Amino acid sequence: MKQTIYDIDSRDSRPGIAFLRVDYNVPLDRSTNEIIDDARIAATIPTIRYLQELDARIILCSHLGRPKGQVVPSLTMSQVAKRLELMLNEPVKILTSFDGISIRGEVNTLGPKSVVMLENIRFVPHEESNDPAFAKQLAESADIYVNDAFGTAHRAHASTVGITHHLPAVAGLLLSREIEMLEQVTLNPERPTAVLVGGAKLSDKIGIIENLMNKIDQLLIGGGMAAPFIKAIGHGVGQSSYDVDQVSIASSLIDGAKSNNIDIVLPIDAIVADAFSNNAATKVVPISEIPDGWILMDIGPQTISLFESQLQNAKTVMWNGPMGVAEFTKFASGTREMAVSLSKRTKGISIAGGGSTSQMIHDLGLTNSFTHVSTGGGASLEFLEGKNLPAINALLDKP
């Protein structure tokens, strides 16, 4: 168990200045550079408000996009700061210096509860290399470090790991919630437990399946990663993309599931297309009748009904990965219908993770209808695989 901001009150003194690492890597409209979805910003408000209750001055730090150590004007934090100002109803000043002493001096001119935001931390090449000198420099700005950036927890960078060598480091409310919820799946889930996985490639999800194999009762498989499983049970998949070695892996997983009394549920029908395009010709076919030259693009209506019925009695449901090529509106129905169905569950817990999965849920306005929707894409994937996340490991343990 990691210490959180709730443990700060038990310290000898409250934090004067808190360095709060957040994940404000929000999607931007390519033409207008406007924020498309501010869910990641909103998710950190409880942590900011709690630190303000402790009279802390708050330094927010985040990255945006992939500037690769260069100053990229389109990736400045100004849009994010403006959106946060609206949410907090108070000013959020942007600081362009990354020198800790200068930052501390600037922040000390402001009153308690004030909020400032550093410019995009990945404008600095020393961030992603976890440069010790840069980490120490950042630490000189504050009295305590709070990590609320689950989306970067799998990265050992200066602002996520290096800085913790110089400051007391605790989890924010969002990060601690992520850990709590995902541990409900990975440690001792309430049974029966079902895992719904999708996405383009089986190789991306093997780690999750193998890590959870002895903890679940059902494994439901959609998306492009269903192709090697369909091949493994003797059917053709047309021109659907898959690696040949994935078929033997799928066969091994099917055998392993039988040995562990796990029910693997595969699609029974699919929406196929004659090209990988949103404008392609389409038809719905049984999974055993995918025509030569056609591509598996989404689960079909019978599969949606099958998956819904299979998940009805599960007390724990974990969903990671889209059911089809959801970036094309024509092939987003499977993912959309599963999101709606899971949002209507009235018993047990429903947890969703993965970038495109979470995005669909947010776009449909269903976030609050799930027990938890993870804010981390790669981080939630690695957590579910059972990997240690360096930014979480770096935080103080509870006594």
Pairing of strands 269-273, 282-286: antiparallel
Find the mean pLDDT for residues 366-394. Answer: 93
Averaged pLDDT, 79-95: 97
Bridge partners of 316, per DSSP, are 193, 349
Question: Would you place residue 37 in the very low, low, confident or very high pLDDT band (cuts 50, 70, 90)?
Answer: confident
- For residue 70, the tally of other CB atoms under 10 A from its CB is 11
Q: 130 with 225, same domain?
A: no
Same domain? For 270 and 155 the reply is no
Domain-located, residue 251: yes
Q: Give the pLDDT confidence score for residue 14 in this predicted structure.
A: 64
Quote the CA–CA distance of 130 and 390 in Å, as a whole number. Answer: 12
In this structure, the number of other CB atoms found within 10 A of the CB of residue 183 comes to: 13
pLDDT at 188: 86
DSSP secondary structure code for residue 103 in this structure: H
Task: Tell me whether residue 84 is in a domain.
Answer: yes
Q: Specify whether 124 is located in the same domain as 196.
A: no
Residue 85 lies in a domain: yes
Residue 244 lies in a domain: yes
Same domain as 158, residue 74 = yes
Q: What is the average pLDDT score of the chain?
A: 94
Residue pair 148/175 in contact (Cβ under 8 Å)? The answer is yes
pLDDT higher than threshold 60 for residue 183: yes
Q: 280 and 369 share a domain?
A: yes
Percent of the chain with pLDDT over 90: 88
Over residues 202-225, the mean pLDDT reads 94
Is 166 domain-assigned? yes
pLDDT at residue 299 in the model: 98
Q: pLDDT by residue (tens digit) across 280-289?
A: 999 999 999 9
Outline where DSSP puts E strands in 3-121. Answer: 17-21, 57-61, 92-95, 115-118
| Residues annotated as catalytic (active site), given as ranges | 40, 201, 355, 378
pLDDT higher at 269 or 214: 269
Domain holding 223, by residue range, is 188-384
Across residues 159-180, what is the average pLDDT? 97
Q: Which of 9-18, 110-119, 259-268 has the lowest mean pLDDT?
A: 9-18
Q: Domain ends where: 138, 156, 177?
A: 177
374, pLDDT greater than 80: yes
Whether residue 160 is found in the same domain as residue 199: no
CATH number of the structural domain spanning residue 346: 3.40.50.1260
Reported pTM: 0.91
pLDDT at 10 over 60: no
Which of 177, 206, 231 marks a domain boundary?
177
| pLDDT, mean of residues 170-198 | 95
pLDDT at position 30? 82
Concatenating the DSSP letter of every residue in 376-391 gives -SHHHHHHHTTPPPHH
Of 106, 12, 122, which Cα lies nearest the Cα of 64?
122
How many other C-beta atoms can be found within 10 angstroms of the C-beta atom of residue 350? 23
Integer Cα distance of 57 and 17 in angstroms:
5
Strand partners for 351: 318, 372
269-273 and 295-299 beta bridge pairing: antiparallel
C-alpha torsion sign, points 136, 141, 146, 151: negative
Kindly state whether residue 183 falls inside one of the protein's structural domains.
no
- 334 with 192, same domain: the answer is yes
Whether residue 139 sits in one domain with residue 225 = no
Residues 117 and 214 in one domain: no
Q: Do the domain assignments include residue 389?
A: no
Instruction: Judge whether 399 lies within some domain.
Output: no
Mean pLDDT of 330-342: 97
Q: Domain check: are 127 and 251 in the same one?
A: no
Distance CA 48, CA 115 (A): 9
* Distant-in-sequence, close-in-space partners of 288: CB < 8 Å, separation ≥ 6: 235
The H or E element spanning position 182 is: helix 173-186
Helix (H, G, I), strand (E, B), or coil: what is residue 398?
coil
| CA–CA distance, 201 with 211 (Å, rounded to integer) | 17
pLDDT of residue 9: 67
Q: How confident is the model at residue 337 (pLDDT cuts 50, 70, 90)?
A: very high
What is the arithmetic mean of pLDDT over 267-281?
97
Q: Percent of the chain beyond pLDDT 70?
A: 98
153 lies in the same domain as 203: no
Q: With CA atoms as reference, report the closest residue to 64 among 130, 126, 151.
A: 151
Looking at the structure, do residues 61 and 206 belong to the same domain, yes or no? no
Last residue of a domain, one of 177, 201, 225: 177
- The phi-psi region of residue 89 (left if phi > 0; otherwise alpha if psi is between -120 and 50; otherwise beta) is left
Number of structural domains the chain divides into: 2
